[in-house]
Amino acid sequence: MIEADGSVYPCDFYCLDQYKVGNIKDSKFSDLRRQAIVQEFLTSRKGLSDYCQQCPFLKICHGGCKRMQDAMYVDENQEYCGYQELLKYFLPKINHILEYVH
């Protein structure tokens, strides 16, 4: 994420001082993306819930991004994942959709 002032962050949901990578006016993007804060952000993850670990789409989304993990809805009776809902709907139709791409 690049802010109007040139500040760079690893994600648009985490534009906080603790995640600031640098400024695009002062450094090349390729140098900024190699910063330790970016690598730490990308590799630090919460453990996946049982719901995620049993999901048939885990190999596609890998548990989602940090924001998705924070935004997963859980109630007393069932868990809900937006990625799973989308993929259940989309994947059975992929061949039909791809016909329009060619």
Q: Which active-site residues does the annotation give?
A: 12
Q: Residues with Cβ < 8 Å from 55, sequence gap 6 or more?
A: 61, 81, 84
| Coil/strand/helix, residue 28 | coil
| φ, ψ dihedrals at 22, nearest 5° | 160, -155
How far is Cα 43 from Cα 62, in angstroms, rounded to an integer? Answer: 12
